[in-house]
Every structure is written in structure tokens, then in C-alpha cells.
């Protein structure tokens, strides 16, 4: 490994409406090293890599490649600079051959418009052979397994002379054997002088192939250290060790009887043996990494996923959930993660959205009673302090926080006694966040039970009475509010990888 | 600013614009032709527009759900010939009409089932039905029209109540009921919800399959009602009736401001749209413009209306 620096990013900042995604972050990459980028969901890893690959434009900061100051303008520009990125979702055309995919858009030609097929296959095969993978350049991509498709992506990046290769959780869907093969390829690329930025949550892998680690937390740079100087505990600490003075206005409610029992619920290939009890007045936090199955669980409890095993009881009665209607009738409301696509109908008014799940309340001999409907909606606008000029304003024109309040009103209006919140404060500004927390306090004070899925540690720790941690579609651990800490949650969430290191 | 230029305002401007367009057209033809602004001619326009207007109501419901129904013309022909043959077989008129409406509803329901349970894109499902119903009508009659009906049946086209032709009254009743359904009932609210965001509608507990079935069924039912009106007017049910009606119905709906992307639209707008097409045809006829050129004009109006829509939307964003 030579010590020459191929990439230096300094004081990189990027903000999105209402969020500072990156705050003066730095990152340095040496030739031939595997540099691990580590952090929780939303720490800023993806944003940083999107800036590097040209998908986002930075607000501030400097990027130096081979000692030249560079403004990366577009993905095409990044490619030209020798930066390749391999996303978790591949960008391959499944119906074309491997070679066609590798050279898509820059096929070698004999005459203008006439592809030089001999050359395209030969060149593609050369690159594949150099990676020591057994793929025929003429094979159709669709017929390849995930691991081999990933290799095609690598080959594509190399054909573009990538000297910096970004790999975003490359092992997420690979088997152990395939991971070994990938590591071999990575080693080989390293020997050839390619610098690799490696994003992964699997600590075990980091110790196997990483040279150095840079940790980000809440959009800020934490530290860069050689892997050999770190233990897993130190890594976890770097990831989560934040100041928890986040003014979360939790008011504990009296915790009452069990309202919901989930017994060994499984969803084919996605959720395994989920069991827990939920009590009145309780906020049950559900933590975990992205892809751990939390949103799937929320949808399942709401009747939007088919349960393959197990049962769900509300007030001691088993509920057969064939559709969201059944769970709404059982008194469950889901505040979805994706407000705009799942929670609201943006082209309908505040009123129409609020009343949608429980129209029967407002129907009088077949017709909607506008007077009662208006009264009810005005009442929610008032109580939840929804900022809207009128109840007839379309939902699309409200701010994120107010949209979220409309979603809440929907379930208040349908008399829900169990609220499932999936990332309740995502994309909401700080002031509105506090309001949402206060509304949650009011709900539990009235005896409502809340399941709150969140990727934000302060939120999980601040609002939950009890915390379940999910990993790989299972419940990996449970912590009481007094017992919980960022480290403990992260350890459960990282799970197996962590145990493997022990 | 934002408050003023909100969507509702724009939709109102849009609706007003369509209405203004209709008035402007009427003024134009009044100036150009002395025959246009006469009671008998205006009633004539209303009567001529009534069938398309009735079919367009079903189309509006379907398009608000972000669907489309290409089969309305064929379903009209098929239900018309079935009704005609049972009438000729001696079935009492009300029963015969019910049979016709039943056939139309069934065809529509089948469309709905294909869309909701079969998960076939509405364009394809109804394209298939368009061919099937047309073929069924031709096969059923061997390609021949069924003509000659009782005067009491023909009254549905020729009759008048207080000087207003019966077809116009049918049309008005259909529009009043449809308007009430869309604005005052659960089903109306759900229709907008399904078209506005199907996912969110499901997660709000709406049984979208059920409502899609009903809505496509209604579209078929109204096509059959169109068949009753057309058969009474022509004194003949023809298996080749209603060709291209789907395009007129789509045009009326779209000119009336219903979004092809779903979630938005009113039947009042559709009525104005149908009348605009009717007035254009009538006025151009009065001016002696050839039917070939009429097609060009009507096509341009459709495109103009959509251009206006898109531009308003762009300004909104």
C-alpha cells in the first residue's frame, strides 16, 4: 500500500430543506486502501458518497483529487474523474448481455452506429478475467446470480478506469461463499492500486478487509482511525456517542392493561417469530438498522401484509387482518413513514383526508353530513394546531409537520386506540417535532398505546417506555427505558456481526 | 400568494374557463349564424349531446380513479341489440330496458373485475372489452340492425315534457345524481381517493377492488342507458352503433377538466365539455363547414384544453 493520497474532501456541507445533512465533514482516501465509512442510518454516509459520485452538489467544502481542486458537476463528470459507485440496487439492464451492460452508451463501433461486437466481447472478457471471475461476457445478465451481477457492476466501473470505487453495503445480499469471492476481488483491486470506499454495518467485515475507518454521526465527522487500532466497542461508541440533551418532552403516562398481543408472527421470508405485548399508555420504541424489517412489521400489524404464521390479539380477541380495514376497525392507526405516498392523498383537502378512514361517522341516510364533518375537522385543526388557511386546503400545500398532524387526525377521527408511528418526525423541522412529541404525550395520557419505529436515537431513547430492537426480521433484543443506551441499542442492532467478533 | 394560487382556486379558474369557453363559442356562432341562438336549435344541441353526455358521466368516474374505459361505444351497441331483440321477442318495455341495462352493467363489471382482481391496466382490459362487446353484438345480430319499436318506447327520444325533450331530461337527471354521488357520498369521496393515491387509499381502509368494480359497472350501465336513448331515437338498434363514442366521451371528460392522472374532476365540467363538443358540431354544421374539417377543429380543442391544463399545473408548481 503506497501512501499517496488520491482523494481529499474537506469541510463538506450539504443541507436539505430543514436538515443539515452534512456539517463540515472531512474524508481522505489513500491509493490502494479499503477505507470503511461507518455510521448509523442518516449519519450522512450516503449524502457524502452522492456528492462524491456527482448525484448531489455540495453546498460548501473542497474536493481534491490527485492534488487537483475539483468541482464535481454530474455523475458523468465523476465517472470521468475515475470515481465508480456500486449501489445496493444494481443499475444493470437484465435483458442485455454482460458485455453490452459494461459498455452501455459507449459501445466500440466499426462505422458510426455499427457496433464492433468482436471488440466489445473481447474487451469485456478481458476485464472480467482480470477480476478472476468466471463470467462469460456473452451471458445475459438476468441469468446471473446477485453476486455475479455485482461483479459485472465492478467490471463496468473498471472499464471506466475507476481508481476510486465506492461500494455501498456490497455484502448485504450475498452468501458467505460469495462474500469470500468478493473479498478476494477487493484485495486484487487493492493490489492494482484502486482505492475503495466501503460502506457496511457488518463490523466483522470491517476487521477483515478494512485498512482505516472514518465514522460519521448526525452529519458530522467523528474521527478516522486505522482499523487495527480499534475494537468493536470503540467503533460502536464512535457511532452513537452523542450528547443526549435533546429536549425531548417526554411525559410518562400511567401504564395500564395489555391492549395488543403479537404472538409468533411471521411474514414469509421477511419477519420471523415476532412476539410482544403492548400496554395502554405505553410508547413501545422499535429500533434497528435500515432493512431490519421494522416498516414491514408496521405494515403487518396494520393488515397490509399477509401473515404466514402467528396471531395478533387486540383486547384479548384475535383479529384476522386481511386488509387495513380490519385493523382500522380493531382500533389501529398507522402513521406511515412515507407521508406523501402512503399517508395522505395530496390532491384531496385536509377535510377529505382526515375523514377518509371513517366516513361512516359522517354518513346520514347515504349522504355525507357536511356540517358534522366540518365540525369534526375544525375540531382537529384546532386541537392539533394544524396550520392551514381552511379545512378545504389541499394537503399538498401544508408543511411536513402539518401534514403529519393531518395523518394523526385521520386516526384520531377513526377512534384508534393503538397508534403505529413509523419515523414520526422524519423530514419535519425542529419546532414541529416537539409538537408531535407533545401530541404523543397527550395520546398516551388518554390511554392510547403507541408503537414508535424510529431511526433517531434521541427520539427512541427520549420517548420510549420500552425498546425492542429488530435485526434481520427478528426481535434481537428488548431494553427498558432505564436500561437503554445508545451503545446497547446499536449492539443489538448490529447483532451477529458483533457476536462473531467476540 | 400561495394561499391565493392554491389548487382549488386554479381548479375553479379552470372550470370557469371551460364554462367561459362554452359561452364564447355560443356568442361566436350567434354572430356567425342567425339560426344558432334559437330555442329549437339550442334544444337540438342539448338533445344531440345528451347521449355522449350520459356516457361521459361514467367515463368521468372511471378517469377520476385514474382509469380509462375504451369499451363504452361497443358496450352501447351490444346492450342495444340485446335489448332490441328481447323487445322484439315481446318482453314488456320496462323489462326490456332493464335487460339492456343489465347487459351494460355486466360488461362494465367485467372490466372492473379485470382491473381490480386481474390487475390488468384499464387501457388493456377495456380495449379487450371494446373488441369483445363489438364482436358479440355483431355475432348476436348477424351484423344486421334490429328496427321498428313501439311508439311508447320511442317516446324516450321523441317525447317532450314541458317542451323539454325527454333525452335532455334523462341527461339532467343523470348529472344531478352523479354530482350528488361524487360530492355527497362515501363512494364519491372514495372515487377521488383511489385516483389520487391508490396506496394511501388502501392504507385508509378503502376496499378499492369493490369500488373499482362498482365504478366500471356504472360506466357500463350508463353506456347501456345511452343505447336505450340511441335506439329510441333511430328506431333501430345497430351492432355498429357507438363507434368512436369512447373518444367523444374521453374528450368531453378531459375538456371538462378531469385529470387523466386521476384524483380530480367534476361531472359539471364534463357536462360543459360535452356541450362544447355539441355546440362546435352544431355551429360548424350551421356554417356549412365540412365534417372533415369539424374533426380537425374538435381535435384542436381537445389539445388546446390539455395544453391549458398542463400550463396551469406548471404555474402551480
- Residue A245 pLDDT: 59
A vs B, Cβ pairs < 8 A, gives: 88
User: The whole model's pTM is what?
Assistant: 0.82
B4: DSSP letter = T
* Angle between helical axes of B208-234 and B39-64 (0-180°, round to 10): 160
In a domain, B204, yes or no: yes
Strand, coil or helix: A171:
coil
Q: Which position has the higher pLDDT, B261 or B315?
A: B261
The pLDDT of residue B10 is: 59
Quick check: A347 contacting B, CB < 8 Å?
yes
pLDDT reading at A498 higher than 50: no
The 3-class SS string of A243-257 reads: CCCCCCCCCCCCCCC
User: Is-contact A47 A14, C-beta < 8 A?
Assistant: yes
- C-alpha cell read off for B32: 356567425
Give whole-number Cα distances, A480 to A312, A466, B112, B297, in Å.
23, 5, 51, 73
Partner-chain contact A328 B186, CB within 8 Å:
no
Q: Are A30 and A3 in contact (CB under 8 A)?
A: yes
B2 closest CB neighbour out of A359, A363, A397: A397
Contact A260, A333 (CB under 8 A): no
Q: pLDDT tier at B11 (50, 70, 90 boundaries)?
A: low
What grid cell was written down for A389? 388557511
Residue bearing cell 444494481: A90
pLDDT at A467 over 90: yes
Domain containing B123 equals 46-246+258-265
Describe the strand order of the beta sheet including A271-279 as a list of residue ranges: A271-279, A258-267, A309-314, A317-318
The reply to whether B280 falls in a domain is: no
What does the block give as the cell for A174? 450475498
Percent of chain B beyond pLDDT 70? 94
**3 state DSSP class of A12:** strand
Prediction ipTM score: 0.85
**pLDDT category, A18, cuts 50, 70, 90?**
low
Instruction: Give A-chain residues touching B192 at CB under 8 angstroms.
Output: 345, 347-348, 352
Closest CA to A339 of A436, A201, A244: A436
In a domain, B286, yes or no: no
DSSP state of A339: I
Decide if B308 is inside a domain. Answer: no
More confident of the two residues A132 and B68: B68
Is B5 a member of any domain?
Answer: no
Residue for cell digits 387509499?
B201
Ramachandran class of A288: left when φ > 0, alpha when ψ lies in -120 to 50, beta otherwise: left
What average pLDDT does the segment A41-48 reach?
A: 86
pLDDT of B16 higher than 50: yes
Mean pLDDT value of segment A79-91: 87
- Please report, for residues A325, A405, B12, B65, B112, the alpha-carbon distance to residue B205 in angstroms, rounded to integers and kept in the order given: 4, 19, 30, 16, 19
Please tell me the predicted confidence (pLDDT) of residue B5: 43
Weakest-pLDDT range from A233-237, A359-363, A498-502, B256-260: A498-502
Q: For residue A322, what is its C-alpha cell?
A: 386481511
For residue B311, tell me if it sits in a domain. no
Q: Which residues from chain A sit within 8 angstroms of residue B179, using beta carbons?
A: none
Alpha helices in A143-292 (DSSP H): 146-159, 176-191, 203-209, 232-240
pLDDT in tens, B176-228: 999 999 999 999 999 999 999 999 999 999 999 999 999 999 999 999 999 99
| pLDDT recorded at residue B315 | 66
Q: How far is CA A242 from CA A157, A217, A273, A486, B190, in A?
A: 37, 8, 33, 8, 46
Instruction: State the average pLDDT over residues A272-296.
Output: 92
Cell numbers that stand for A395 in this block: 394537503
Q: What is the C-alpha to C-alpha distance for residues A411 and B255, in angstroms, rounded to an integer?
A: 37
Q: Which residue has the cell 466501503?
A: A198
Q: How many domains does chain B have?
A: 1
A66-78 tens-digit pLDDT = 989 999 999 999 9
Q: How confident is the model at residue B8 (pLDDT cuts 50, 70, 90)?
A: low
Tell me the mean pLDDT in the region A388-411: 91
Whole-angstrom distance, CA of residue A474 vs CA of residue A265: 10
B180:A367 CB<8 A: yes
Of the candidates A363, A377, A374, A305, the residue with the CA atom closest to the CA atom of residue A334: A305
Most A CBs within 10 Å, among B203, B257, B264, B317, to test the A interface? B203
Q: What sections of chain B are H helices per DSSP?
A: 7-32, 39-64, 72-88, 93-116, 122-141, 151-158, 166-184, 186-196, 198-203, 208-234, 245-255, 267-286, 291-316
Residue B8 falls inside a structural domain: no
Please judge whether B6 and A348 are an interchain contact, meaning their C-beta atoms are less than 8 angstroms apart.
no
Check pLDDT > 80 for residue A268. yes
- Residue A338 burial (CB < 10 Å; 0-12/13-18/19+)? middle
pLDDT greater at residue B160 or residue A502 = B160
Q: How far is CA A362 from CA A56, B25, B59, in A?
A: 47, 42, 28
Up-side HSE of residue A472: CA atoms within 13 Å toward CB? 10
- How far apart are alpha carbons A143 and A136 in whole angstroms? 11
Q: What is the pLDDT of residue B4?
A: 42
Out of A342, A367, A368, closest to residue B200 by CB: A342
Phi, psi values for residue A172, rounded to 5°: -55, -40
A359 contacts in chain B (CB < 8 Å): 186, 189-190
The verdict on residue B221 lying in a domain is yes
Cβ contact, residue pair B203, A352, below 8 Å: no
- Cβ-in-10-Å burial (0-12, 13-18, 19+) of A95 comes to exposed
Kindly list the structural domains of chain A, giving each domain's residue range(s) and its CATH number in brackets, ordered by start.
5-240 (3.40.50.300), 253-331+417-502 (3.40.50.300), 344-414 (no CATH)
pLDDT, tens digit, 9 for 90 and up, residues A447-456: 999 999 998 8
8 A C-beta contact, residue B246 and residue B70: yes
- pLDDT interval class at A500 (50, 70, 90): very low
Q: What is the pLDDT of residues A27-40, one digit of tens each?
A: 999 999 999 999 88
Query: Considering only alpha carbons, which residue of chain B is nearest residue A362?
Result: B186
The pLDDT of B24-41, averaged and rounded, is 91
pLDDT average, residue stretch B24-28? 92
Q: Are A65 and A27 in contact (CB under 8 A)?
A: no
Per the CB < 8 A criterion, the answer to whether A359 and B189 are in contact is yes
What is the tens place of the pLDDT at every residue in B108-152? 999 999 999 999 999 999 999 999 999 999 999 999 999 999 999
Nearest alpha carbon to residue A453 among A300, A337, A271, A285: A285
Which tens digit of pLDDT belongs to each residue from B233-291? 999 999 999 999 999 999 999 999 898 889 999 999 999 999 999 999 999 999 999 98
State residue A376's pLDDT score: 94
DSSP letter at A97 equals B
* 3-state SS assignment for residue A5: strand
Amino acid at each position: 500500500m503506497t501512501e499517496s493520497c488520491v482523494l481529499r474532501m474537506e469541510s463538506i456541507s450539504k443541507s436539505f430543506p430543514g436538515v443539515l445533512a452534512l456539517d463540515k465533514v472531512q474524508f481522505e482516501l489513500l491509493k490502494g486502501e479499503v477505507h470503511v465509512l461507518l455510521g448509523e442510518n442518516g449519519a450522512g454516509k450516503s449524502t457524502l458518497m452522492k456528492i462524491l459520485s456527482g448525484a448531489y452538489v455540495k453546498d460548501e467544502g473542497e474536493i481534491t483529487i490527485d492534488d487537483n481542486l475539483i468541482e464535481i458537476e454530474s455523475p458523468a463528470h465523476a465517472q470521468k474523474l475515475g470515481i465508480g459507485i456500486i449501489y445496493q440496487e444494481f443499475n444493470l439492464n437484465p435483458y442485455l448481455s454482460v458485455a453490452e451492460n459494461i459498455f452501455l452508451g459507449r459501445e466500440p463501433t466499426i462505422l458510426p452506429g455499427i457496433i464492433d461486437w468482436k471488440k466489445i466481447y473481447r474487451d469485456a472478457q478481458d476485464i472480467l478475467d482480470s477480476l478472476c471471475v468466471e463470467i462469460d461476457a456473452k451471458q445475459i445478465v438476468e441469468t446471473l446470480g446477485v453476486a455475479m451481477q455485482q461483479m459485472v457492476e465492478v467490471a463496468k466501473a473498471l472499464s471506466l478506469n475507476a481508481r476510486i470505487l465506492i461500494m455501498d453495503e456490497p455484502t448485504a445480499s450475498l452468501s458467505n461463499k460469495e462474500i469470500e469471492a468478493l473479498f478476494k476481488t477487493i484485495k486484487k483491486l487493492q493490489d492494482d492500486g484502486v482505492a475503495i470506499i466501503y460502506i457496511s454495518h457488518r463490523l466483522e467485515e470491517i476487521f477483515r478487509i478494512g485498512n482505516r475507518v472514518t465514522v460519521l454521526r448526525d452529519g458530522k465527522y467523528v474521527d478516522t482511525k486505522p482499523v487495527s487500532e480499534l475494537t468493536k466497542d470503540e467503533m460502536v461508541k464512535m457511532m452513537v456517542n452523542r450528547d443526549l440533551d435533546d429536549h425531548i418532552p417526554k411525559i410518562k403516562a400511567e401504564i395500564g392493561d395489555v391492549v395488543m398481543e403479537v404472538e409468533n408472527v411471521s411474514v414469509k421470508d421477511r419477519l420471523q417469530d415476532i412476539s410482544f405485548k403492548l400496554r395502554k399508555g405505553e410508547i413501545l420504541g422499535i429500533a434497528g438498522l435500515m432493512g431490519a424489517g421494522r416498516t414491514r412489521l408496521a405494515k403487518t400489524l396494520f393488515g397490509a401484509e399477509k401473515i404466514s404464521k402467528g396471531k395478533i390479539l387486540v383486547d384479548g380477541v384475535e383479529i384476522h387482518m386481511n386488509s387495513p380495514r380490519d385493523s382500522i376497525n380493531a382500533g389501529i392507526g398507522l402513521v406511515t413513514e412515507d407521508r406523501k405516498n402512503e399517508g395522505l392523498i395530496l390532491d384531496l383537502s385536509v377535510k377529505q383526508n382526515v375523514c377518509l378512514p371513517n366516513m361512516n361517522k359522517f354518513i346520514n341516510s347515504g349522504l355525507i353530513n357536511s356540517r358534522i364533518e366540518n365540525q369534526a375537522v375544525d375540531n382537529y385543526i384546532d386541537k392539533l394546531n394544524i396550520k392551514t388557511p381552511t379545512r378545504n386546503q389541499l394537503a399538498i400545500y401544508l408543511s411536513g409537520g402539518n401534514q403529519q398532524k393531518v395523518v394523526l387526525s385521520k386516526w384520531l377521527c377513526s377512534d384508534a386506540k393503538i397508534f403505529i408511528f413509523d419515523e414520526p418526525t422524519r423530514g419535519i423541522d425542529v419546532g414541529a417535532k416537539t409538537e408531535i412529541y407533545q401530541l404523543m404525550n397527550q395520546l398516551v395520557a388518554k390511554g392510547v398505546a403507541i408503537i414508535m419505529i424510529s431511526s433517531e436515537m434521541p427520539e427512541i431513547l427520549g420517548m420510549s417506555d420500552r425498546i425492542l430492537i429488530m435485526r434481520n426480521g427478528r426481535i434481537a433484543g428488548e431494553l427498558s427505558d432505564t436500561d437503554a443506551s445508545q451503545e446497547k441499542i446499536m449492539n443489538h442492532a448490529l447483532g451477529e456481526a458483533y457476536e462473531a467478533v467476540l | 400568494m400561495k394561499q391565493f394560487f392554491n389548487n382549488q382556486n386554479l381548479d375553479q379558474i379552470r372550470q370557469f374557463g371551460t364554462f367561459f369557453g362554452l359561452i364564447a363559442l355560443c356568442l361566436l356562432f350567434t354572430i356567425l349564424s342567425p339560426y344558432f341562438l334559437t330555442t329549437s336549435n339550442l334544444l337540438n344541441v342539448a338533445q344531440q349531446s345528451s347521449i355522449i353526455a350520459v356516457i361521459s358521466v361514467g367515463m368521468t368516474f372511471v378517469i377520476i380513479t385514474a382509469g380509462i374505459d375504451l369499451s363504452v361505444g361497443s358496450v352501447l351497441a351490444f346492450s342495444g341489440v340485446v335489448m332490441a331483440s328481447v323487445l322484439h321477442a315481446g318482453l314488456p318495455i320496462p323489462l326490456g330496458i332493464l335487460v339492456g341495462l343489465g347487459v351494460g352493467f355486466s360488461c362494465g363489471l367485467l372490466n372492473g373485475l379485470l382491473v381490480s382482481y386481474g390487475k390488468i391496466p384499464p387501457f388493456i382490459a377495456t380495449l379487450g372489452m371494446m373488441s369483445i362487446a363489438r364482436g358479440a353484438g355483431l355475432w348476436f345480430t348477424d351484423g344486421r340492425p334490429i328496427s321498428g319499436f313501439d311508439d311508447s318506447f320511442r317516446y324516450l327520444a321523441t317525447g317532450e315534457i314541458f317542451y323539454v325533450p325527454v333525452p335532455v331530461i334523462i341527461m339532467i337527471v343523470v348529472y344531478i345524481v352523479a354530482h350528488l354521488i361524487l360530492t355527497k357520498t362515501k363512494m364519491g369521496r372514495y372515487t377521488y381517493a383511489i385516483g389520487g393515491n391508490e396506496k394511501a387509499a388502501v392504507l385508509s381502509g378503502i376496499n378499492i377492488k369493490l369500488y373499482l368494480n362498482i365504478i366500471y359497472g356504472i360506466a357500463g350501465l350508463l353506456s347501456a342507458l345511452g343505447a336505450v336513448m340511441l335506439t329510441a331515437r333511430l328506431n333501430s338498434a345497430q351492432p355498429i352503433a357507438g363507434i368512436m363514442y369512447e373518444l367523444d366521451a374521453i374528450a368531453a371528460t378531459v375538456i371538462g377538466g378531469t385529470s387523466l392522472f386521476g384524483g380530480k374532476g367534476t361531472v359539471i365540467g364534463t357536462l360543459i365539455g360535452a356541450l362544447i363538443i355539441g355546440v362546435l358540431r352544431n355551429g360548424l354544421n350551421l356554417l356549412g363547414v365540412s365534417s372533415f374539417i369539424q374533426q380537425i377543429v374538435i381535435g384542436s380543442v381537445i389539445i388546446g384544453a390539455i395544453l391549458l391544463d398542463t400550463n396551469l399545473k406548471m404555474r402551480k408548481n
